[in-house]
Structure 1
């Protein structure tokens, strides 16, 4: 079953909307073809003989124009001006041929002629609106189509009938113009939101790097300026053989050691992550992305800072991967500390397990591991821990971090 549905599930949300939109337009063209062929079936022989080829070609050209116009809307190609001109010209030819046959008395008194005129013009106006960039130009299309269909008809038919042609063309064209224009706008907006989410993730990384740079500058800027000043003073005193030069160099040495300690504090703050904060942050971020996120943690347990830091980075990286690489609808983050003898080998010694599982895994084979997972394995390796990541089937993916019980001796249980 996964092979049959993989072509759909492996697509992003934006790609799914695009596929749905394109096939909706193809379905419209199929409706037009069936409607026109049905009308031709009730038309007199001369009408059917003259219009059968143009009527068959019109839905095909409309379908081609809709596909090319959607590519233009998404920025993949230039505006399809030639295809739009071909659709407009073929529509004019069909309507002109019908009016000429009607003037010659060959169309009879049936409903074939109004049906062909209204359907041909309305579907043409709908797909032509996809090739327009401004809404006011789209609104003018149904008005122009109604005028161009009503005036020539008034020359060969009674005014009331011509007005009926114009009204039918206007209402149908306006409806299809709104449907096509809204579909194109929606598709473009979905892709813009998808790109915005990617940019948001990149900006978050860039912001963290800038924060680290600012912290490092604040720590080192002042101290380096003081070191340079005192070193210059020590040089001047040494040239004068003043004993105060030694005191100044001792002060430089003290400031250098203090700077080294402050840099360690900055790096430690940058590399450490609090597990509780990361769990709440993951819940909030995934919920904001429209996912059902559940966090299951055994209550009343406090972990050593280094264990919390490692697990906090696991939660952060897993959350980032869920947002970037999948199309998940639900996610479960589960932290368990089994009792003695429970579970497998990793859990039998009272070890800790952190699972992050979601249902947005693609069916395609996974690529080579990225630097994020490699960094997590390094952090866990310092605690003799392990990291496993892979699909579970049915579109689910799990990232599991294990830390053995001998590393949890600082674990406390609150009363």
Structure 2
């Protein structure tokens, strides 16, 4: 961005962010002070017929504007870029002090303090507020001039540092807000991918099992193949409905319905199912999480085992799903499905453990104790 762009208070204002507006306001406020003081200094020097002081004031002001333009906090690229213009400004200020009239001390203090205070800590500016009056006293300035000089340095340094502090706070708040928004988006994407995995995974597993059963029946000429394909069609439509509801954010699961679906699916796959307890033993506050456990547990049985037997146990604040003949017990506890279950359970204070062996695989869930009345649904 060119220097004249920084001097235009309306350029790109509507399209700028809040931080950029605060930065522009701060930078242009400093620039206005520099220009106003430079005009006053040049006018006084011109009236006195001091061409050297007039030129020095102009050079000092332009150098100060360049310094402000290059400070990173105010939109510049690098602090290293300010060294040359800052050196020129200090040299021009020295000329003003040496050959200019006494009032130039105040203008020089403002011209030099404004850009330098934006670069250094406040304590260095306060040190300058002590040293400069001493130098002015040695040079023969009056007590009033010395007092005004110290006041101008302290006032400008404090104002500039407070403005820079405010700008830094606004920038940090905006950065924090952006980070929080990005985190929220990431969490929502993770939640959606987890739900999508749970919904589509079970549906595809069920369709695959029933399709294989229908194909086997058809090869034997069994009329039940048509009924199985009808069920596949129903499952496909239900999964499409579930996916639409998931996208809309309205989807919920019911533990009793999931249990009925699990028993039907396991039976179709030729897996004998034993049920211990009832879903009424699960507190209503965690019923939805229990439904997801049933869904994911049965999906894993179909995908990662050659099971012939499955036992689903409901108890007070607990749920266990046990099956035989796991195909890969060393990897059965890995995967996005169980990771998603752990996240769901952690949200309600529950925990999930996996017990895998050569002959059995157990999915055990413990819910946090609750006083919520249990659900009245039954399988």
TM-score by length of 1: 0.45
TM-score by length of 2: 0.48
Larger radius of gyration: 2
